[in-house]
Structure 1
Amino acid sequence: MQTIERTVAASPQTVWELWTTPQGISRWWAPDGFRTDVDRLDLTEGGELVYTMTAEAPEQVAFLEQNGLPLSTESRKVFTELAEPHRLAYRSLIDFVPDHEPYEHLTIVELEPEGDGTRVTMRVEPLHDEVWTERLIAGRTNELENLERLVARP
């Protein structure tokens, strides 16, 4: 597992709500240059989150087109653990990699109070190769930076 950590200026409950509601997810989940639209959310263990991520920035659109990837991708996650407001885990279906069989990938998120904020610890399983794992880590790091910026706004 690889670990990404950030301390954000919000309570664990606020971070939980941003991570587990359609309105919250759509405000920060996507990496820079993308938009996230939540299609379905069943916040129960075994429940599913389905969302569509769409490239909007010209450089992201160009990257996807050059690599033969679609501009919009539907993603599915199944919640494996929910302990509000401190811990959640989910398995993501990785079915968007060209010439690779679909597989599942685990993410574990822990939210702990730290000072006036929350320490967010995200642990992710590596993907099928180093290049895709680096892309995953870069994307998740950018998402946490987006979360940090969102809660820092006055």
Structure 2
Amino acid sequence: MTPAQESVRITRTYPATPERVWQLWTTGEGIARWWSPDGFTVEVDKLELRPGGELIYTMTATAPEQIAFMESHGMPLSTRSRKRFVEVAEPGRLSYTSLADFIPGVDPYDFLTVVELEAVEEGVRVTMTADAMHDEEWTQRLAAGRANELDNLGRVIDADS
């Protein structure tokens, strides 16, 4: 199967500096505060912020709806995820590949995400562009999950203000 689109692009503007958003995106403490979609938690296991370095984290379903979804699709409640940094240009651009090795019946594959931070009058514009996944359903799940994560990032920024 092939996805109907080649990439997913999501943009948000936050009342913060690029440096603050960079810190939330590139530290274990920052990532643990917002990275996971609603109903999941994240624990950072390894973080090497450099081109070729790894981010390894464990995401665990904690809310009843997410637990039920994971169980109904034959997926474990906790998954260990791996990302490899491609570009690290503080505080404006970060890119990484993600290993999709958790999908039943699908061979593991990497997909690229590029994050761009741009200072604007309102604060910082964050643009996240991710490669489409192996089919439209999983690409839509990716888009919904990433949008939710960016909404969570906004809530953390608002709470810190």
TM-score, with length taken from structure 2: 0.94
Q: How far did 1:39 drift?
A: 0.1
* Matched residue count: 154
Mapped pair 1:19 → 2:25: yes
Q: How far apart in 1 are the matches of 2:117 and 2:92?
A: 5
Q: How far apart in 2 are the matches of 1:101 and 1:58?
A: 28
RMSD: 0.7
CA deviations 1:78-97 (Å, max 9, x no partner) are 00001000000000000001
- Does the 8 A contact of 1:36 with 1:54 survive in 2? yes
* Percent of residue pairs bearing the same amino acid type: 58
SS at match of 1:85: coil
TM-score, with length taken from structure 1: 0.98
Q: How far did 1:18 drift?
A: 0.3
1:99 corresponds to which residue? Answer: 105
After superposition, residues 31-46 of structure 1 pair within 5 angstroms as 31-46=37-52
1:152 corresponds to which residue? Answer: 158
- Does the 8 A contact of 1:33 with 1:60 survive in 2? yes
2:72 corresponds to which residue? Answer: 66
Mapped pair 1:89 → 2:104: no
1:111 corresponds to which residue? Answer: 117
Q: How far apart in 1 are the matches of 2:87 and 2:13?
A: 22
CA deviations 1:14-63 (Å, max 9, x no partner) are 00010000000000000000000000000010000000000000110011
Moved over 4 A (4+): none
Point out where structure 1 has 5 or more consecutive residues left out of the alignment: none
Q: How far did 1:9 drift?
A: 1.5
